[in-house]
Amino acid sequence: MAEQAPVLSTARAGGPAGSYDDGVGVQSVALGQSLLRAGLITPEQLDRALERANIEGGLLGRHIILETGLNRRHVYQVLAEQWDAPLVDLVQHPSDDALLEQLSFTEVSEPGWLPWHLEDGVLTVATAVKPSDEIRRAALRIPGAEQVVFRTTTDWDINHSIQRAFRNHLLYESAERLAEEQPDGSARTALNLWQRLLPAVLLSCLLGGLLLDAQLTVIVLLTAVNVVFLVSIGFKTLASLRQPFDALHDGAAAKAQARELERRGVGTGALGDPSGLAGRIPDGELPVYTILIPVFREANIINKLLANLGQLDYPRSKLDVLVLLEEDDTETIEAAKRSRPPEYVRILVVPRGEPQTKPRACNYGLTFARGEYVVIYDAEDRPDPGQLRAAIDAFRQDAFERRYLAPGRRPLICVQAALNYFNADQNVLTRLFAIEYTHWFDSMLPGLDRSGIPLPLGGTSNHFDTRLLRLVGAWDPWNVTEDADLGLRAAVEGYRVGVINSTTWEEACSQVPAWIKQRTRWIKGYMVTAAVNTRNTVRYVKRTGVAGAVGFLGLILGTPLAFLAYPLVLGFTVVTYVGYNFVGLVLPEWLLLGGVVSMLFGNAMMILVSGVATWRRHGWRIAIFALLNPAYWVLHAVAAWRAAWQMLSSPHKWEKTPHGLDEEYHDDGRWSA
Amino acid sequence: MASDLQAAPAPLTDAPAGPAAPAGERAPWLRRTWTALGAPAAGRRVPGTAAIAVVAAAVGFLACLYTTGQGSNLDYSDAQSHLTIARRVFDSKAPGFEQLGTVWLPMPHLLLMPFIINLWMFSSGWGACVLGIIALAATASGLYRICALLGYGRTGRLAAVLVLLANPAVLYTYTTALTEPVLLMCLVAGMAGLAHWATSRRRMSAGELAVFAGIPSGAAVLSRYEGWALVLTGTLFVLITELRRSRQWREATKMAAAYAMVPAAAVLWWLSYNWAIYGNPLEFMFGQYSAYAQQKNITDGGLLPTKGNLGLTLWTFHWSLLETLGIVVLAAAACGALVVVYRRGLATSTLLVAVTGSAYAFALLSLYLGQTAINNDHSLPSTWWNNRFALTALPLAAVLVAAFVHQVTRRRRTRSWIVAFLLLALAGQNAWWLQDPAARMAILAEGRMSHDSNTYSFAAARWLKQHYDGGGILLDESARGNAVLPMMGIPLANIYNRAAGDHFGPALQDPAKYAKWVLVNVEGEDAPLDSGFTDLVHQAISASPTFNARYAVVFSSPTHRIYERTVN
């Protein structure tokens, strides 16, 4: 079988895991033999690579490199001899950009070859795939080309050339396209005119009210903050309370299903899985999975991420790991190059440009993604080994259900895995952070999912259908919580976000100043997302329905407002006491009682629901810290007010969260177990 | 210098982690528990803690069954007062958190509140029993953890627990609503937190120190003033230990501040509370109901000879201590002190042991400065008063006993004999006590004396409980001998007393308008000088020319009288 795809880069998705001749191909075997003769690999290595190729599908060259760690240039040197096309180095001898500009990005990014030089009607094509008549015909369509000759190059050289030649195109794609095509859906303009004026109007009303009727104004203010607080708490509580009932329901449904299957004599092998999809998918049938790993100023990260991704239960030949580095982050780039990553890891250097944000890097990476599915991880992330398979199961289950059971249901664009912290017990802050995340991902998100409320995505471990992700415009690089924004945009565009029962263990920020900065960005992102989606409220409500409106009010808008209101809620007693004793402020009895009840009830509910969720996940030693939630919310309030200020002064400012603050934390094995 | 604790040899486990339970063993959990009791501490996990807590709770429950059956859990007037204060926060003519204070710190009452919502739990004292059981379990497990973290093996740890659980006076105290159970629980929890911090395998953060040691110490600060002493010594301990570890003043100051942060906030809150409610941040120190005001009467009457007299202070306090903990425990503790100093010098472990004695030191200082008074059968004057203050030395004594026992039982060959001897001595001590507990154990003697001196007021309370058929009750609960509201078992919202705030004055002026019943102490000015406040209700009705025309005496005793309104 001829190698029609790049030898080393694209495994044949879903390719047959058939016989030696069918699955691997004569040419590939010749490649193996050549490498063997050259003494670059051993017979054992070749056998193992052949076995892998037969099981997982894909191309032998890729398996040889994965198996042996052989330099790709050696392999291509052998291929060059086979193809009778000498090897060229596109870094030392770059391609003619004028030639490339005559092609579109998609014309050169997919096939694995590109026009190198055109001289006197002779077009030299540099290819990483076997020269073929098809390529020759395509190349001859380039103006001025009368004859085609081939040179061999590596897929890495091709990528490098494309990045260089299409720099501007890629920059536009990753930073500007969404904002240009959907100005109202992008946060490039964070606040429009009325949104910029709103804080000033509210402040003026407050000051005017205090001058005209201070007592009434204070009553209105305190009532408003308490209502906002209670609405937010109520939303979080109700979303959380669904979870146990849903779990009971699911358990009962699974039992009923099992009984029915048994009655029909189907057996229990496919318990709870009418589609028969829950069985383990053979490696050869797995699609290519792209993993985006944006890294900024985190030198020596490659080894860590390899160790973490090495735990994934997924064939390496089907992994397409893209490490996204920023052009001006030379230290990390150098470190990454020095680390000599394996073949399935590609290092992409994102060109310098504004805004220098994670979503811009992800958009850049997405243009190079080869996978049917794509997921974002941080370099420190430790995903559950079966997470990629769980995501694929969820997508396949959704496709099955939409086909046979619920044709009208929105397609699944993304599944979110739970995030939690491996350093939960490092210090008090990490414990509280773990409690918050556990409550959010274990309790609230499943509740929101079952209620049909659009889910704001978490920062990592969101698994997308790559095609649909591109359709909705991918991430907004101007939004500092591009994840939350994308979750809502997906809902507006008619897609659904689900959750999967799999966890990614992350590093919790363990220092208060860094935490405040991180949280400032998150809350500011919610504010920006709220601003973006209130520009066209009718469209939003129309497309997402009541559930979308409730979720938006309770979560996207309610969360920042609740945090802003929290100081007044918590300090209610002090405010009323000081007001009574020093200003002569007399508040109505209902407000006094309501304020205290709001403060006590609200905090108690948060302690309860987050404590219970954490108890189940981490045990009581972490859960007991939920009692400190009221103090933790004070930090939220500080971050919220910083975020409010930054909304006005620097809405696109991205305060990076430092990683590796867990050095003093000695993992006792519990979290890595 | 690295912490000596971290460099300390592995603790003796007394018995190797035993093999798997043999097949057919009747109670494999018992073997597992026994093994756990000797296992070394691993971070926050100290094996055996839960077992100790369960056993202590069971012992506490049995003690409660005994004392409530006898009714002796309400013998102390203060115990009844504490129950009343806790309940009147939500059941009173003027309910609210303003009912807390002034002389007594609020933590015991706040913790007591949920357990006395039920009127029977309040009047029987079982509410306090439940809290006492929890406090006993926490104190026992806290002492156990301190000893485990100090590296003592099973026998040492269990010896510390026995100091607590094998002492009838201690057990009695934990069945009452006195503040000692809560104080000891918080003190020991704070000390255990400090021990955890000092012995942690990994460097604990400032926040963790604040949570594990600062919060319980803050609770101790709001329980009794001995807690304030713990914070002072604890802060010093953190400062020295961190300085030894890191050799950085900045780091040491940061950790010390982290520890002291919560207790300091508690102190600040208490001052603010006094300021907000009484208009004086130092009301608890110098106000009408403060210890100072009470001590002043005693001092003026020449009944405080310990003030400024070190010898008499030591003599008085230690007789109370001896008559509370017993000679066996004190002797073992004294030996333990020698062992600790001899073996470890001024190492961090020695400092940690010293911290457990902070409340004891505070109690001595307080007695010497005349801030408190203690009387026993060897003091001047000779009576029973505040002997439970000696319990402040209990944590120190327990840890020192553990150190001694740990040391003398290191040799496997002689261990069984020594353990048997010590247990025999302890049993002998208890047997001697139990021959005449109310005479040989200071705390029980004081309880009995209180019971005897309140015979008439208790009788009045019981009479009113039986005959009450509704209507308001006017009494000055704060006056001498009148702390009987729990025993009365009547919802406090029916009662006009000083705690009723604005309702008390009009009721004093015109009792018939508000109260169907009037209970008074009729001792008047003839009562002993140091026995409490004058009964304002008695004063008022004595001055009222029409009172006798509207009320009839329905109960009378040499000290107390109950009137019932006859004319509407």
Cβ–Cβ gap B202/A428 under 8 Å: no
Distance CA A386, CA A312 (A): 6
DSSP code per residue over B111-159: HHGGGGSSHHHHHHSHHHHHHHHHHHHHHHHHHHHHHHHTT--HHHHHH
Q: Name A346's bridge partners.
A: A322
Cβ–Cβ gap A664/B202 under 8 Å: yes
Residue A4 lies in a domain: no
Average pLDDT value for chain A: 83
Q: How many CB atoms lie within 10 A of CB B139?
A: 33
- pLDDT number for residue B2: 40
Distance CA B124, CA B141 (A): 27
Q: Specify whether A415 is located in the same domain as A480.
A: yes
Residue A2 lies in a domain: no
Q: Specify whether B247 is located in the same domain as B321.
A: yes
DSSP code per residue over A529-592: HHHHHTTTHHHHHHHHHHHHHHHIIIIIIHHHHHHHHHHHHHTHHHHHHHIIIII-----HHHH
B208 at A interface, C-beta within 8 A: yes
Q: Specify whether B156 is located in the same domain as B239.
A: yes
Residue B448 lies in a domain: no
A429 at B interface, C-beta within 8 A: yes
pLDDT(A278) > 60: no
- pLDDT number for residue B18: 44
Q: Specify whether A69 is located in the same domain as A201.
A: no
Average pLDDT of the residues in A124-130: 88
pLDDT tier at B10, thresholds 50, 70, 90? very low
Using one digit for the tens of pLDDT, what is the confidence trace for B337-383? 999 999 989 999 999 999 999 999 999 999 999 888 899 999 888 88
Find the domain containing A125 and state its range: 97-165
A580 at B interface, C-beta within 8 A: no
Write the CA distances from A85 to A28, A111, A117, A148, integer angstroms: 17, 17, 15, 12
pLDDT(B19) > 50: no
Cβ–Cβ gap B207/A668 under 8 Å: no
Residue B449 lies in a domain: no
Average pLDDT of the residues in A79-105: 83
Nearest residue in A to B205, CA atom: A427
pLDDT tier at B14, thresholds 50, 70, 90? very low
Q: Specify whether A480 is located in the same domain as A492.
A: yes
Q: Name the more confident of A637 and A572.
A: A637
pLDDT tier at B4, thresholds 50, 70, 90? very low
Tokens of A16: 């047959």
Q: Specify whether B510 is located in the same domain as B428.
A: no
Average pLDDT of the residues in A448-473: 90
State CA B538 to chain mean position distance.
Answer: 33
pLDDT tier at B407, thresholds 50, 70, 90? very high
Q: How many domains does chain B fold into?
A: 2
pLDDT(B116) > 70: yes
Average pLDDT value for chain B: 90
Q: How many domains does chain A fold into?
A: 3
Name chain B contacts of A628, Cβ cutoff 8 Å: 211
Cβ–Cβ gap A628/B210 under 8 Å: no
**Optimal mutation site among A423, A426, A427, interface B, most CBs of chain B within 10 A:** A427
Q: Specify whether B73 is located in the same domain as B167.
A: yes
Cβ–Cβ gap A628/B211 under 8 Å: yes
Q: Specify whether B497 is located in the same domain as B422.
A: no
- pLDDT number for residue A662: 59
A625 at B interface, C-beta within 8 A: yes
Residue A3 lies in a domain: no
Using one digit for the tens of pLDDT, what is the confidence trace for B26-83? 778 888 999 999 998 877 789 999 999 999 999 999 999 999 999 999 999 999 999 9
Residue from A78, A92, A58, A66 nearest A160 by CA: A92
Using one digit for the tens of pLDDT, what is the confidence trace for B288-324? 777 777 777 777 777 788 889 999 999 999 999 999 9
* End-of-domain residue from the set A165, A187, A213: A165
Name chain A contacts of B43, Cβ cutoff 8 Å: 668
* End-of-domain residue from the set B388, B412, B440: B440
pLDDT tier at A16, thresholds 50, 70, 90? very low
Among the residue ranges A10-24, A252-266, A381-395, A396-410, the one predicted with the least confidence is A10-24
Sign of CA dihedral A550, A555, A557, A559: positive
Q: Specify whether B424 is located in the same domain as B475.
A: no
Tokens of A404: 């046979």
Residue from B89, B119, B112, B120 nearest B176 by CA: B112
Residue A236 lies in a domain: yes
Distance CA B403, CA A88 (A): 79
Residue A311 lies in a domain: yes
B200 at A interface, C-beta within 8 A: no
Q: Specify whether A471 is located in the same domain as A539.
A: yes
pLDDT(A196) > 70: yes
Residue B14 lies in a domain: no
Bridge-based pairing of strands A113-119 and A122-127 is antiparallel
pLDDT(A17) > 50: no
How many contacts does A have with B, using Cβ atoms within 8 A? Answer: 22
Residue A117 lies in a domain: yes
Q: With beta carbons less than 8 A apart as the criterion, state whether A178 and A473 touch.
A: yes
Mapped onto helix, strand or coil, the DSSP state of residue B90 is coil
Highest mean pLDDT among A588-597, B13-22, B79-88: B79-88
Residue A6 lies in a domain: no
Q: Specify whether B516 is located in the same domain as B419.
A: no
Name chain A contacts of B207, Cβ cutoff 8 Å: 427-429
Q: Specify whether A294 is located in the same domain as A161.
A: no
Instruction: Return the CATH number at A102.
Output: 3.30.300.160
Q: How many CB atoms lie within 10 A of CB B378?
A: 14
- pLDDT number for residue A25: 55
Q: With beta carbons less than 8 A apart as the criterion, state whether A627 and A508 touch.
A: no
Q: Give per-residue burial for B353-374: e unless 16+ CB within 10 Å, then b.
A: bbbbbbbbbbbbebbbebbbbb
Q: Specify whether A136 is located in the same domain as A184.
A: no
Q: Specify whether A33 is located in the same domain as A179.
A: no
* End-of-domain residue from the set B440, B472, B492: B440
* End-of-domain residue from the set A83, A107, A125: A83
Using one digit for the tens of pLDDT, what is the confidence trace for A500-510? 999 999 989 98
**Optimal mutation site among A425, A428, A510, interface B, most CBs of chain B within 10 A:** A428
Residue B58 lies in a domain: yes
Q: Specify whether A153 is located in the same domain as A173.
A: no
Q: With beta carbons less than 8 A apart as the criterion, state whether B140 and B161 touch.
A: yes
pLDDT(A350) > 80: yes
The closest CB to that of B202, out of A510, A628, A666, belongs to: A666
Residues with Cβ within 8 Å of B26's Cβ and at least 6 positions away in sequence, in order, are none
Q: Name the more confident of A568 and B331.
A: B331
The closest CB to that of B203, out of A621, A628, A664, belongs to: A664
Residues with Cβ within 8 Å of B58's Cβ and at least 6 positions away in sequence, in order, are none
Q: Specify whether B273 is located in the same domain as B326.
A: yes
* End-of-domain residue from the set A165, A192, A212: A165
Q: Specify whether A154 is located in the same domain as A176.
A: no
Q: Specify whether B244 is located in the same domain as B325.
A: yes
- pLDDT number for residue A599: 82
Residue B17 lies in a domain: no
Cβ–Cβ gap B205/A668 under 8 Å: no
Instruction: Return the CATH number at A181.
Output: 3.90.550.10
Q: Specify whether B167 is located in the same domain as B304.
A: yes
Residue B495 lies in a domain: yes
B467 at A interface, C-beta within 8 A: no
Q: Name the more confident of B249 and A22.
A: B249
B242 at A interface, C-beta within 8 A: no
Average pLDDT of the residues in B101-115: 91
**% of chain B exceeding 70 in pLDDT:** 94
Average pLDDT of the residues in A548-560: 86
Average pLDDT of the residues in B432-444: 94
Residue B9 lies in a domain: no
Q: Specify whether A282 is located in the same domain as A331.
A: yes
Q: Specify whether A177 is located in the same domain as A156.
A: no
A186 at B interface, C-beta within 8 A: no
A509 at B interface, C-beta within 8 A: no
Among the residue ranges A96-105, B113-122, B159-168, the one predicted with the least confidence is A96-105
Find the domain containing B161 and state its range: 45-440
Name chain B contacts of A629, Cβ cutoff 8 Å: none
DSSP 8-state symbol, A474? -
The closest CB to that of B276, out of A510, A577, A666, belongs to: A577
Residue B1 lies in a domain: no
Name chain A contacts of B208, Cβ cutoff 8 Å: 427-428
Q: Specify whether A121 is located in the same domain as A173.
A: no
